Chain A
Amino acid sequence: MVEKRNTKAFVEKIVPRVFKAALLVTLVYLPVYFLSALVHPLESFFPWYEPLTNIFTIVFTILLVVGVFVSGTIYQYVLGVARTLVLMLFFIYVLNGGIIALAMPIEGATVSIVIDLRVILAMLVLVCLLGIGKNVVHAIDFVSAKVETEEL
């Protein structure tokens, strides 16, 4: 009877997390999919984009899913920091450090194009750092709340 109740409680706890994880994975996958579809015609100019995005998506998804399953523990925030770090490194790598240089053949001539995206990259890194800060503060808050609960 107790075993049955434990199983029921486990299922009640795990099923919403599975749905939440599935929903979040879909939400992460959709923009990546649309971005890939957008970049696909220009693949020859960004050869590094697709393999890198696949690796990033896999790592990010794993961290996201594990983060959902360990929510309510300190690991949720540790994984949150790891996820944001991965995202930050992805942006730095995919934007080539902020300077994108392409060589496009146009009407027989080769046009060299250089786009300086360092301002955009700085904004993205800033938001990622803010996300890391948020997770750290959240983790501190979580630990202090836990200590308070234990003291009471």
Chain B
Amino acid sequence: MRYAVRALGWATKILWILIVVFAATAVHSALNVRMGFGQPQIFFSNKSMVISVPLFVNNTGLYDLSELNMTVTVMDYNGSLVSTSTTFVPSIPRGSYIESAHNVSMSLDDITSKLVNYLFNDTVFNLDMSLKLNFAHAIPFQASMNETVPWGAPLYNFSIGQFSYDSYNLTHERVIIPLSFENHSPFFGIDGTMRVELYNSNEELLGSSVSDLNVPSHSKYDGQVEMIVDISKITGSGEVRFYFETSTFSFGPVVMPYG
């Protein structure tokens, strides 16, 4: 019995020492791990909007970090999923430094075709960022944060004014369509072409024209489109269709009735 008591006593003491040493070194190591997210950057490449979240981990502690899993989910103002992406780093050994950019890519064609609202109305995107890792192969750790990224509509307040007609010849007239919008996007300018097609109430094409667009970020566009139309086809009402082909997105038609 004495030996059993003595053995239990020693086992308890040794385990206490191990736990205290592990706890002390784990706290020390955790305090020596520097980890963070940088400011999200947004840029455009190949007709995709890329939200890049810089991530750095400097593990100067005594224990390895493993199974680092970073997930970024982008949702629009009403909680609909726009994009999700994951970065996985299997191991960050002690004494190492990793720096990486977690990229969330969204096709602008997708955005513009599915969510036309973003072209014409300002809104916000919700970014849910979460980071999971295993500390010392024993302590799972998770950090998550939520951030909002403002989205400025590139064609905010897109509108056409009152048409004016000039006589061109006996059978045709020159139609002038005033057009205005504001590029509220803080991320990109609109640089490309706009094709305008004018239809009468019988859905017959009256005329079309192509204009160059160069509207920098946070600026207003006030212009007009001219086209020559057949007088006999003019009905006084109909619709105007706009097609945009820019360096960042392609979209159309935007249909606006007139008359």
Contact = CB atoms under 8 A, between A and B. Distances in A.
A115 B143 CA distance: 9
Interface stretch (A2-10, A19-27, A58-66, A132-140): A132-140
A149 to B, nearest CB: 14
Given A127-B16, A130-B11, A114 B1 contact: no
B106 to A, nearest CB: 22
B142 A119 contact: no
A147 B108 CA distance: 87
Interface string A114-151: 11110110011011001101100110110010000000
Contacts of A18: none
Contacts of B142: 113-116
Nearest to A130: B12
B139 A131 contact: no
B8 interface: yes
A42 to B, nearest CB: 12
Contacts of B146: 109-110
Contacts of A116: 139-142
A115 B9 contact: no
Nearest to A124: B19
Contacts of B23: 120
B145 A134 contact: no
Given A109-B146, A110-B145, A137 B16 contact: no
Contacts of A130: 8, 11-12, 15
Contacts, number: 62
A81 to B, nearest CB: 13
B96 interface: no
Given A115-B141, A140-B1, A133 B8 contact: yes
Interface residues of B, number: 23
Contact of A141 (B5, B16, B139, B145): B5
B139 A115 contact: yes
A117 B19 CA distance: 13
B4 to A, nearest CB: 6
Contact of B15 (A120, A127, A137): A127
Given A109-B146, A130-B8, A134-B5, A123 B19 contact: yes
Contacts of A140: 1
Given A124-B19, A127-B15, A137-B5, A114 B141 contact: yes
26 contacts: A109-B145, A109-B146, A111-B144, A112-B143, A112-B144, A112-B145, A113-B141, A113-B142, A115-B139, A115-B140, A116-B140, A116-B141, A117-B139, A119-B138, A120-B22, A120-B139, A123-B19, A126-B15, A127-B15, A127-B19, A130-B15, A134-B8, A134-B12, A140-B1, A141-B1, A141-B2
CB-based closest 6 A-B pairs: A134-B8, A116-B140, A141-B1, A114-B142, A111-B145, A127-B15
Given A123-B19, A140-B1, A141-B1, 11 more contacts: A110-B145, A110-B146, A113-B142, A116-B139, A120-B19, A123-B15, A126-B15, A130-B8, A130-B11, A141-B5, A144-B1
